């Protein structure tokens, strides 16, 4: 049996791939991210899936944005909890078995969730290939 790819089997290596994807966000968007918590969790909860309109028995998520998108914020927006993007490790490593495939999908997932923060909805993202 061959050695497992560390990015697929090691949670620390997975977090490094998420950090790489965040670092690759163009510089002009980086200042907006300082108040966004980007975290890695193992699995989405049943409530996360239900809130997204998914069936917890058969569906999963790779990422989840929670917060108020920038375009929807009133001029006096303050005091709210920080926006949060969660990247779910186990669904990604189950579906993407090599570091190259995993890296691509993590980047795609981070971009997708950041797009929600910037106000894009799923229909717009689908048109853009995300």
Q: pLDDT tens, 40-79? A: 999 999 999 999 899 999 999 999 999 988 888 887 777 6
- Yes or no: is domain 6-69+78-127 CATH 3.30.2010.20? yes
Q: Does the reported pTM lie above 0.85?
A: yes
CA dihedral 100, 23, 89, 104 (to 10 degrees): -30
**Residue 39 CB neighbours (<10 A):** 10
């Amino acid at each position: 049996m061959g050695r497992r790819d560390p990015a697929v089997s090691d949670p620390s290596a997975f977090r490094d791939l998420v950090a790489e994807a965040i670092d690759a966000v163009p510089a002009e968007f980086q200042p907006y991210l300082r108040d966004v918590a980007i975290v890695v969790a193992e699995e989405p909860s049943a409530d996360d899936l239900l809130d997204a309109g998914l069936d917890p028995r058969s569906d999963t998520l790779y990422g989840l944005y929670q917060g108020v998108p920038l375009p929807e914020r009133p001029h006096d927006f303050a005091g709210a909890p920080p926006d949060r993007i969660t990247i779910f490790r186990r669904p990604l490593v189950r579906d993407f078995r090599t570091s190259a495939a995993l890296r691509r999908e993590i980047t795609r997932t981070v971009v997708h969730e950041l797009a929600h923060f910037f106000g894009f909805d799923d229909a717009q993202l689908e048109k853009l290939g995300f």
